[in-house]
Amino acid sequence: MPEATAAKRPTDTLNMRWAITQALDEELERDERVCLLGQDIGRSGGVFGLTRGLWDRYGGERVRDAPISEEGLANLAVGAAINGMRPVLEIMFMDFMALVVDALANQAAKTRYLSGGAIGVPLVVRTLGGAGFRIGAHHEQSLEAWFTHVPGLKVIQPSTPADAKGLLKAAIRDEDPVVFVETKSLLGDKGPIPAAGEVLPIGKADVKRGGGDATIVATGRMVGESLRAAELLARDGISVEVVDPRTLLPLDTETILTSVAKTGNVVIVHEAPKLSGFGAEIAATIAEECLYELDAPVRRLGGAWAPIPLGRAEQFLFPSADSIASTVRELVEG
């Protein structure tokens, strides 16, 4: 049981990997209805080590290794949730979420509505998205926008260990299905975490950095790139506010619109391709709600419209601190 002990050791700072493990540990301990399902999550602790020690602590009934059958697992998880459990299903790579769309979009998301509010589906589907591991076209996509189009789902994408822990706990306690996107490239990032029992609100954005000249709205890995871009711009006297939605569905439009109204300039950045990416929804909301507060058109940055190549070439597909800073500079300097 040494791994579980390590996961629960009191600390002010953890990397995102351990923050996720700690959230799962605390919720398994708090509520006996919580159970984990997924491939290789048991004795081995998962491909990315996100369930290390939990099998030893809670046993194979509640931390259940499963065969390679994402569609079957998703339907099993929906049924378990309807029947009183609170399953947390791990889909190893976001690319494989295509196999669970029917269970999520056509069953879990609609059950409360079709039952007249009588039946909830308290299900969390955790999945690892984004590039950074150089493992190619079938394992590094960012597909979060797929699920923001489905009424009845919630979609969360944290960018820090604190957000990962606090929002995962909130997702597990929620009465409706949640897609929880963990960005692979951020698993090693360290930062302060919430105390045991502390839960962050779903649907509340976070202003990661204050500023007055321009707003950057960024998600996932691009939050860190945007913060680095803000540092570069500060050397030129350009003050940038960085807003992290954290929850894509429901979206905290109030925080975003307040920032845009203050700065008059906005750049939206995400790792997914720009075309039909979630940034388009944010841009449309800004256009509808505060168009006349803008000093320049909304700008969007996203991944290239191409499959992700294997190896180092992937780095050329995505926005960087330099490209984000350059875009903001163009807006502000006109």
Which candidate in 138, 139, 149, 270 is catalytic?
139
What average pLDDT does this structure show over 327-331? 97
| C-alpha to C-alpha distance for 40 and 128, rounded to whole angstroms | 14
Q: Where exactly does CATH 3.40.50.970 map onto the chain? A: 2-192
Question: For residue 12, what pLDDT is reported?
Answer: 76
Instruction: Please tell me the least confidently modeled range out of 85-89, 107-111, 146-150, 312-316.
Output: 312-316
Question: For residue 195, what pLDDT is reported?
Answer: 78
Q: What is the pLDDT of residues 233-261, one digit of tens each?
A: 999 999 999 999 999 999 999 999 999 99
Q: What is the pLDDT of residues 283-311, one digit of tens each?
A: 999 999 999 999 999 999 999 999 998 88
Q: What is the pLDDT of residues 159-209, one digit of tens each?
A: 999 999 999 999 999 999 999 999 999 999 999 987 777 899 999 999 999
Q: Which of the listed CATH numbers 3.40.50.920, 3.10.180.10, 3.40.640.10, 3.30.465.10 matches domain 206-333?
A: 3.40.50.920
Let me know if 139 is a catalytic residue. yes
Q: What is the pLDDT of residues 34-52, one digit of tens each?
A: 999 999 999 999 989 999 9
pLDDT-derived band at 321, boundaries 50, 70, 90: very high
User: In the CATH scheme, what is the homologous superfamily, with its name and number, of domain 2-192?
Assistant: Thiamin diphosphate (ThDP)-binding fold, Pyr/PP domains (3.40.50.970)
Torsion sign over Cα 42, 43, 46, 49: positive
Q: Where exactly does CATH 3.40.50.920 map onto the chain? A: 206-333
Q: What is the pLDDT of residues 1-33, one digit of tens each?
A: 333 333 444 457 899 999 999 999 999 999 999
